[in-house]
Amino acid sequence: MISILLPLPPLSPLLSPAVVVTLFIDLHAAPGKQNADSHSGTSNHTNFFNDPHNLRRGLYAISSLTHLLSTLFRVPEPLLNNVICIELLNELALQTTRFCESGTSTSSQKCE
């Protein structure tokens, strides 16, 4: 699921200069789960990195998200001029066998 938060119109002319809202956009739950936490999908185990189908679905989701965002950034008055970060995936868990064996794990925890 991709959730995009758009800035709300100012509540009043008096509040708008004092209130600054910044957005951090990410793909919070990848197909097949990118970690074992309950907020990262619905499957029972982490299977995003080991399943080519899930990787393709994740790539499609990220591609669609970046296309939408780039469109919103290019309009005459950008709708998302308060985005400070776009994170591809939230809280990766790269301790899968494939990544550990290849030596490409960037996790702070050691592969077991």
Please report whether residue 68 resides in a domain.
yes
- The residue-averaged pLDDT of 23-36 equals 82
Please report whether residue 51 resides in a domain.
yes
Please report whether residue 94 resides in a domain.
yes
Query: By percentage, how much of the chain surpasses pLDDT 70?
Result: 59
The domain tally of the chain equals 1
Please indicate whether residue 69 or residue 110 has the higher confidence score (pLDDT): 69
Please report whether residue 112 resides in a domain.
no
Which residue range is the domain that position 84 belongs to? 23-102
Please report whether residue 61 resides in a domain.
yes
Please report whether residue 27 resides in a domain.
yes
Return all residues near 92 (Cβ < 8 A) that are at least 6 apart: 34, 35, 106, 107
Please report whether residue 18 resides in a domain.
no
- The residue-averaged pLDDT of 12-22 equals 59
Q: In angstroms, how far is CA 61 from the centroid of its own chain?
A: 9
Please report whether residue 92 resides in a domain.
yes
